[in-house]
Amino acid sequence: MTKAVGTPEETSLLKVLGNWDVLALGFGAMIGFGWVVLTGDWIGSAGTLGAVLAMTAGGAIMAVVGLTYAELTAAMPKAGGEHNFLLRGMGPRWSFIGSWGIVGGYVTIVAFEAVALPRTALYLFPDLNQIRLWEIAGSEVYLTWALVGAIAAVVITTVNILGVKFAGVAQTFVVVLLLVIGLMLVFGSFTGGSVDNMQPLFTGGTAGFFAVLVVVPFLFVGFDVIPQSAEEVDIPARQIGRLVVIAVGLATIWYLMTIVTTSSAMSAGELADADIATADAFGALFGSDVMAKLLIAGGIAGILTSWNSLLLGASRLMYSMARSGMLPAWFGKLHPKFRTPVNALLFIGALSFIAPFLGEAMLVWLVDSGSPSIVIAYLLVSVVFLVLRRREPQMERPLRVGGTGKTGLVVGGAAVVLCGGLLSLYLPGMPAFLDVPPWILFGAWWALGAFFLLRIPSGIAPGEDAEHRLLEALKQRRATPRDGGRN
């Protein structure tokens, strides 16, 4: 575990992202594949209005958390986001825990998208399953099916290695396609939908409401990609913070639109019997199977935007952790030409390449195992927001939530309470309590994290120069003979 080396030119990222690039990265990261396959389940669990209220509540929670991110991102616009916030406010070990949590969430979703892509392609190409390999947890794995996700992993990883601007342009193109699909959903709902299909408005009671609410961390993870890429953004720091909140708002609108338009297209019974509810609903709105396949194309666009954004975010966070000495220097290496964190990208890309060969059962396991790690990171960021408000009231904050009064402290306190409430939903006896396989993945990730965490020197106080002091402590440790200098 050593410090990344090289000249300042070799270890700096390029500032090439503009307003739209940043917004496309944040919004695209949140709009993955979940809206295509899960909307029917939300409506079935809570009813149309129940699902709307649960998603509105989830969006409000993420907006409050997003406000804390907005202020901290504007104050510390460096690659790594949470890593920098927690390092300054709570010290290296807490910084590692928060960073490791969000990296774990990103990696699980990147792997999820690699499995979701062939699952979606199967809807378009029913004969895709050829050359059976094996069966995992009741899911048969076919070579041709798995290669769809594996080849996509190679392509998306390569795009990110070629440069963040190239990745941003690709992201913008796919987000525009996604927005066109959304507008068509709204148009189809007005012309071919029916209010009668939205019955029942409520079902499942409190349990139904929470069944929708617990997926919020998975659905909204991605707005925090904006802080991860802040060092590559060529816009004012204050504007970076604002874009965090705007991205959350747009994602909330998207999910609400999906619920309402899907429920207007088909009755609750028909949605329950649908293969992919949103796609079948889209086809029903226009009376065409071709339109259903077009929505699947939108789902693929969502997969690609989420995959691209979260791969970018995870690699920047691992790069920042390596730059601070928390991870091996290998993860901090930048490509000599494109100045992208090539080794971190290759590591995450390799995991996403392998994921499709583990079968469709991995979809649920990855979602369940990654969500608690994401909430842990959000909770720590909310706490450090309050810590820095108290400890460093004079810290330069280009964007100050609630001004200089107590409103900001109320926002931070609300974020802590709301994130704590979300985290409690994963405890035994609660609606989102995990099955054994997700707990194994969750435990394996944090066991690996514990190995690195215990190698971080203790006793290093937080502060603006915490990273420098951490690197000095690691340098001194490496220079000290193993026998303590007795020989």
**pTM: predicted TM-score of the whole model, two decimal places:** 0.79
Section 301-328 average pLDDT: 82
Answer yes or no: is 117 within a domain. Answer: yes
Q: Name which of 95-104, 136-145, 442-451 the model is least confident about.
A: 136-145
Answer yes or no: is 14 within a domain. Answer: no
Q: What is the DSSP string of 78-122?
A: STTTHHHHHHHHH-HHHHHHHHHHHHHHHHHHHHHHHHHHHHHHH
- Model confidence pLDDT, tens digit, residues 96-130: 999 899 888 888 888 888 888 888 888 778 888 88
| Residue of higher predicted confidence among 16 and 120 | 120
Number of domains in the chain: 1
Contacts of 216 by beta carbon, 8 Å cutoff, 6+ apart: 55, 58, 59, 61, 62, 422
Quick one: tokens of 372? Answer: 């608690």
Q: Name which of 32-41, 46-55, 112-121, 393-402 the model is least confident about.
A: 32-41
Contact 175, 25 (CB under 8 A): no
Answer yes or no: is 463 within a domain. Answer: no
Answer yes or no: is 476 within a domain. Answer: no
Section 384-397 average pLDDT: 87
Answer yes or no: is 487 within a domain. Answer: no
Quick one: tokens of 354? Answer: 């392998």
Q: Give one word for 485, left, alpha or beta, with left for phi > 0 and alpha for psi -120 to 50.
A: left
Residue type, 181: I
pLDDT score for 16? 54
Answer yes or no: is 178 within a domain. Answer: yes
Answer yes or no: is 275 within a domain. Answer: yes
How far apart are alpha carbons 296 and 276 in whole angstroms?
A: 9
Answer yes or no: is 2 within a domain. Answer: no
State the Cα angle at 271 between 265 and 276, rounded to 5°. Answer: 100
Quick one: tokens of 94? Answer: 């807490």
DSSP annotation of 233:
B
Q: What is the CATH number of the domain that holds 352?
A: 1.20.1740.10
Query: 141 lies in which domain range?
Result: 19-456
